[in-house]
Chain A
Amino acid sequence: MTGRRRRGNPPENPPPARRDRRPALDIERIAEPARQAAERPSPDAPKPPPGRRPAPVPAPRRSEIFARFGTASAALGCAGRLVGAHRDGDVRAYTRADEWWLHASVELDLARSVVHATGGTLFVLVEGRFVRDRGFGQHPSAGPADAVEPSTLLECPLLDLVRAAGLHPVRSHPAQSSTLILPGAVTADAVRRALDAGLNVRHQPVRLRPLWGEATAASPANVRLDLTAAQGAIAPTLLQAFARLPVTLVARACGREGNLLLQHSRATPMPDQHLAALVGEDRLWVLADAAFGCWWLEPLAPAEDATGLVMTAPGFHLRDQTAPPARLDETSTSPTVRVIADPAANRRCDALLLDDAELGELRLLLEGHPLAELALIVPGADAHLMLAPGGLLETFAVGRPLTCIGPGLLYIGRGRRLDPDLPPTARRRLFAPDPGHAVVLLGDRGLRFRLDEQRPVWTLWASAGPPIVEQLPNATVAALRDLDPQPQAPRPQTPFRRLLDRMATPIPVEELLQQALAAEAAGDLPTAAELHRRRGDAYRAGELYERAAERER
């Protein structure tokens, strides 16, 4: 170890202070030497002789100043600074025409800096008249030409100055406490939300009376909620959420007694604590913008903890656990099959469940879409089912997508499954899907649709076309009329002939689709797949074969 001392570690044996020798660099106060000496008396310092006392510091000379402002906001800002500089001083407000005046008894140089900083014009009372100050130098003497007669000013309370100045938006700072004034209808929600955020909440019924105007006109009773964070600050987003509640004021309590409630993120030109000093001890002001207004606040009851405003769930009551338990057979309930969310299950979109409003949007999605050829709509009472033979195989922005879980056309919401999982036999027994119906399982109920009501989805936007008139030449029509009706000779209906007829006439696509849907509803997925393959839709056939293979598993 060397003799070098580590930084930050105090020496174990500090060197003795040398009193007989001044350090190389010493810092001393250069102001108020007499006061410094009085505050730090040194036993070694020579005492002054009893006959000589330090000269008293002369009190600064105060002048009666008047300041003229063009706006109430500037006058109020100046008043706040004068009150801050001289707490014992008295600041009075006057008005004349569109001008605002302030009167105070302060030092002239202080008045010059404050008044000029706030954009006012300074006058000094000289021989009974207001003489305009030059802005520098000695106290003005004789009155110049622009002196003002004091009798032309009309005194007004500072409250009028506050009213005329109004509030302006300011950046809100994180606060540990805040106050809400809100109607009773939204109180419970606000209390629950504040308690959820871990705040301490106290509530107090209050009545608001107008700050300006008739004192008899009072608003209905309101509730004052005082929110306090146990640690840190209240989240600003929570306060913004409270401010969006109807007829609700988020405010901060100002002053030593908290007798001024100023709207959150608003301020007057006068600092809050000076403004709070204007409020009487037994009064409580609420200052807010025009949307909420300015009020006297009258408490109707003492503040109480607001936890009791939170309601418990219906039917909640305390149960005595020391009592002998009931029999298991009585307490246990039979398990109910539920539909639960499982994002990994049933990802295919086979059908859509639509309401009345969404039916109108189908045209925008399906007009010109290849699915318009296949899709069918099965109307219901308050819900409608859009399905397609083999499944829609595509998701859309409207409706609730469904997946066919079988047997038959038994649908469940996409990304959902049954809990507990049921085999096809149990599903058939519980939900009873049959070839004539489609069943949709929702979270709280099931819907049954009659497949007889199905119609092509394009009939939603094209139910009928214009009338078609047969156009034939007149001669042809006349020649057809002249022909004798020849009864058609019946062909012999042998089995071979029937087979030939069936092979000669291809099955129309619509009939293939109907047969495929019927086979699918009956649970015969391979037949449905084969029909789709014959129709030329190999992908849909593959889907159906895959579903059939999954169910065989």
Chain B
Amino acid sequence: MSLWEQAAQCYRDAGAHAEAARCYGRAGLFRQAADLYLEIGDPASAVPMFERATEQHQAGWLLVHVLDRPADARACLARHTPPPAPAPPAVWSAPILLRQLVEARCDIAERARDTAALATLLNVQEALAGPDPVSDVRVTEWATSVAKGMGRMDQAALVHAAAVRGRRPGARQRFITWAAAEFGTPIVLPPDPEPAVAGRAA
């Protein structure tokens, strides 16, 4: 364990999270540093840590969704990820969808037309309902936030419903919790027709 990491642990034990995050950053543990910055409510300091931890999607999402800096979010994506392919991929994956969701959120923040954002939500629903390897929970959460930013609660419900149809782990509970938080009423989902596929639960 390096001296920086030991210093960070000591600071963390002492409750000095800002100093601990700084030392984690010096130790090269950028993800821990970013999480600590988020814990103490300093997303602006967390963004460069996420970037250095190659979590450019998370950095971009923080920039546009929390800090309301869509131009910086687009620049962050352009710096660290290759430009998206013009044709849709054969298989949807979480990084592709996360990038599209950040760009859709940027469109909403810049008050652009929501055509592209709607297309992104449709892609998310297709990926969640299908057998594609999209196990990252952030896809559902960010898609719901994008739909809410557009004022399209129907699309948010469709995203949750797609995740339930695709038997994503925890999707049913997230749907129920979301509906209770947004509308104040519990919803009743039909029971699963068949047990979840073991491979998708991973």
Interface digits, A183-202 against B, CB 8 Å rule (1 contact, 0 not)? 00000000000000000000
A545 touches B26 (CB 8 A): no
Q: A533-B10, A542-B23 are in contact. Are A549 and B4 (CB under 8 A)?
A: yes
Interface digits, B3-22 against A, CB 8 Å rule (1 contact, 0 not)? 11011111101101001100
B10 touches A529 (CB 8 A): yes
Q: Using CB atoms, name the residue of chain B closest to A548.
A: B3
Q: A546-B23, A549-B26 are in contact. Are A539 and B10 (CB under 8 A)?
A: yes
B3 touches A538 (CB 8 A): no
A539 touches B4 (CB 8 A): no
Flag whether B2 is at the interface (Cβ < 8 A): yes
Q: A533-B10, A542-B10, A542-B23 are in contact. Are A549 and B3 (CB under 8 A)?
A: yes
Query: How many B residues touch A, CB cutoff 8 Å?
Result: 16
Flag whether A379 is at the interface (Cβ < 8 A): no
Query: How many A residues touch B, CB cutoff 8 Å?
Result: 14
Complex contacts, B2 vs chain A, CB 8 Å: 549
Taken together as a complex, chains A and B put the C-alpha atoms of A548 and B27 apart, in Å, by 13
Complex contacts, A546 vs chain B, CB 8 Å: 3-4, 7, 19, 23
Interface digits, A540-553 against B, CB 8 Å rule (1 contact, 0 not)? 01110110110010
B26 touches A542 (CB 8 A): no
Flag whether A433 is at the interface (Cβ < 8 A): no
Taken together as a complex, chains A and B put the C-alpha atoms of A533 and B11 apart, in Å, by 11
- B14's partner among A539, A548, A549 (CB-CB below 8 A) is A539
Taken together as a complex, chains A and B put the C-alpha atoms of A538 and B9 apart, in Å, by 9
Flag whether A526 is at the interface (Cβ < 8 A): yes
Complex contacts, A529 vs chain B, CB 8 Å: 6-7, 10
Taken together as a complex, chains A and B put the C-alpha atoms of A537 and B11 apart, in Å, by 10
Interface digits, A121-152 against B, CB 8 Å rule (1 contact, 0 not)? 00000000000000000000000000000000
Question: What's the least CB distance linking A404 to chain B, in Å?
Answer: 16
B13 touches A538 (CB 8 A): yes
Complex contacts, A526 vs chain B, CB 8 Å: 3, 6
B11 touches A549 (CB 8 A): no
Taken together as a complex, chains A and B put the C-alpha atoms of A451 and B118 apart, in Å, by 73
B3 touches A542 (CB 8 A): no
Complex contacts, A533 vs chain B, CB 8 Å: 10
A542 touches B4 (CB 8 A): no
Question: What's the least CB distance linking B26 to chain A, in Å?
Answer: 7
Taken together as a complex, chains A and B put the C-alpha atoms of A179 and B113 apart, in Å, by 78
Taken together as a complex, chains A and B put the C-alpha atoms of A538 and B17 apart, in Å, by 12
Complex contacts, B14 vs chain A, CB 8 Å: 537-539, 542
Report B1-53 residues with CB < 8 Å from chain A CB: 2-4, 6-11, 13-14, 16, 19-20, 23, 26
Q: Using CB atoms, name the residue of chain B closest to A549.
A: B3
Interface digits, A504-542 against B, CB 8 Å rule (1 contact, 0 not)? 000000000000000000000010010001000111011
Interface digits, A432-456 against B, CB 8 Å rule (1 contact, 0 not)? 0000000000000000000000000
Complex contacts, B9 vs chain A, CB 8 Å: 542
Taken together as a complex, chains A and B put the C-alpha atoms of A543 and B9 apart, in Å, by 11
Which of A538, A539, A543, A545 has most B Cβ within 10 Å? A545
Which of A537, A538, A539, A546 has most B Cβ within 10 Å? A546
Taken together as a complex, chains A and B put the C-alpha atoms of A549 and B2 apart, in Å, by 8
Report A421-439 residues with CB < 8 Å from chain B CB: none
A552 touches B3 (CB 8 A): yes
Q: Using CB atoms, name the residue of chain A closest to B3.
A: A549
Complex contacts, B20 vs chain A, CB 8 Å: 542
Taken together as a complex, chains A and B put the C-alpha atoms of A548 and B4 apart, in Å, by 9
Complex contacts, A542 vs chain B, CB 8 Å: 7-11, 14, 16, 19-20, 23
Complex contacts, B3 vs chain A, CB 8 Å: 526, 545-546, 548-549, 552
Q: Using CB atoms, name the residue of chain B closest to A551.
A: B3
Q: Using CB atoms, name the residue of chain A closest to B27.
A: A549
B16 touches A539 (CB 8 A): yes
Complex contacts, B26 vs chain A, CB 8 Å: 549
Question: What's the least CB distance linking B69 to chain A, in Å?
Answer: 28
Question: What's the least CB distance linking B16 to chain A, in Å?
Answer: 6
Taken together as a complex, chains A and B put the C-alpha atoms of A479 and B14 apart, in Å, by 52
Question: What's the least CB distance linking B29 to chain A, in Å?
Answer: 13
B7 touches A549 (CB 8 A): yes
Taken together as a complex, chains A and B put the C-alpha atoms of A529 and B10 apart, in Å, by 9
26 sampled A-B residue pairs with Cβ under 8 A? A526-B6, A529-B6, A529-B7, A533-B10, A537-B14, A539-B10, A539-B11, A539-B14, A539-B16, A541-B10, A542-B7, A542-B16, A542-B19, A542-B20, A543-B7, A545-B4, A545-B6, A545-B23, A546-B3, A546-B4, A546-B19, A549-B2, A549-B3, A549-B7, A549-B23, A549-B26
Listed from nearest, the 9 A-B pairs whose CB atoms lie closest are: A542-B10, A545-B7, A549-B3, A539-B14, A538-B14, A538-B13, A542-B11, A546-B7, A541-B10
